Amino acid sequence: MTTLISEHASFGGVQRFYQHDSSAIGLPMRFSVYLPPGHEGKRLPVLFYLAGLTCTEETFAIKAGAQRVAAELGLIVVAPDTSPRGAGVPGESESWDFGVGAGFYLDATAEPWARHYRMASYILELRELVLREFGADEARCGIFGHSMGGHGALVLALRHPDLFRSVSAFAPIAAPSRCPWGEKAFGGYLGTDRSSWAAWDATELVSQGAVRFPAGILVDQGLADKFLPDQLNPHLFEEACRVAGQPLTLRRHEGYDHGYYFIASFVEDHLRFHAGQLG
């Protein structure tokens, strides 16, 4: 059952927060959904936004300021939580970059994470729920996100180009197999055999060669982002796209940091990018 927690009128539409029992996660999960004005009875395009480390289903709705443009463009925008909550895995709340708030949008295979930490399957389950319960258009789903979630969006789109027709990211952790955040997460969730990591690494997926998004991928990156030098590595994703022939627009912005002031500055561009591709 999908239970409405709260709703707030916004730019002629409504910002809602829900809880439901997830079969992929095996626990209750929360998500937010923005429904633009006039959504009733229409098959509208839908965008899934995946947030970063320490965030929740509320972060994007509160901080990004996307509702005005989503209302104008007639876009449904859905944002899930960033991990299971209440899984009871020992140590899951001990660090901010692994465990609670840090599910990395993959399906864990290593114990003790494999039972509940299945965020990739969860996003696909949530997509089905949104198509069913909010009447979104199955053929017009896009995905974007920030940092951990920017990478999650890239990976989910690259793994399922049949399900997500457009993809973009803000400051994604672009090559997680080659940075401390990713090595910690992949080592914990997938185990120490690095050969299993490539299937969850956007740069590795692009390097396999198939052009999955011929109309292009959009990435924005702030140049004053404190995580850029050690964690994000957009140049590795850029090079993989160049070699594979995958069209990419990577915009580098002087002075912008990693936070939501950066995201709010460019979120309109991302919504228009997706609306243009989804039609």
Ligand X SMILES: N[C@@H](CCC(=O)N[C@@H](CSC=O)C(=O)NCC(=O)O)C(=O)O
Q: Given the rule CB under 6 A, which residues bind ligand X?
A: 52-55, 59, 63, 96, 146-148, 258-260
Tell me the backbone φ, ψ of residue 51, rounded to 5 degrees: -85, 175
Least distance (Å) between residue 253 CB and ligand X: 16
Active site residue 147: yes
Residue closest to 84 by CA, chosen among 156, 123, 143, 28: 28
Alpha helices per DSSP H over the chain: 59-63, 67-73, 119-134, 148-159, 180-190, 202-207, 234-244, 260-278
225 catalytic, yes or no? Answer: yes
In the chain, the largest separation of any two C-alpha atoms, in whole Å, equals 50
For ligand X, the closer of residues 53 and 271 by Cβ is: 53
> Is 39 in the active site?
no
Q: Which is nearer to ligand X, 13 or 234 (CB)?
A: 234
d(CA 210, CA 219): 19
Helix or strand holding residue 80 (H, E): strand 76-80
The CB-of-114 to ligand X minimum distance in angstroms stands at 22
Give the chain's end-to-end CA distance (angstroms, integer).
Answer: 31
Nearer to ligand X, 72 or 257 (CB): 257
Q: How far is the CB of 278 from ligand X (least distance, A)?
A: 25
Cβ-based nearer residue to ligand X, 210 or 261: 261
Q: Say which of 10, 83, 147, 207 is annotated catalytic.
A: 147
User: Which of these is catalytic: 39, 258, 270, 274?
Assistant: 258
Residue 247 preceded by cis peptide, ω within 30: no
* Residue carrying structure tokens 């994703």: 237
Of 25 and 55, the one with the shorter C-beta distance to ligand X is 55
Instruction: List, in order, residues 6 or more apart from 187 with CB less than 8 Å away.
Output: none
CB of 3 to ligand X, least distance (A): 26
Q: How far is the CB of 89 from ligand X (least distance, A)?
A: 20
Query: Catalytic residues, which ones?
Result: 147, 225, 258
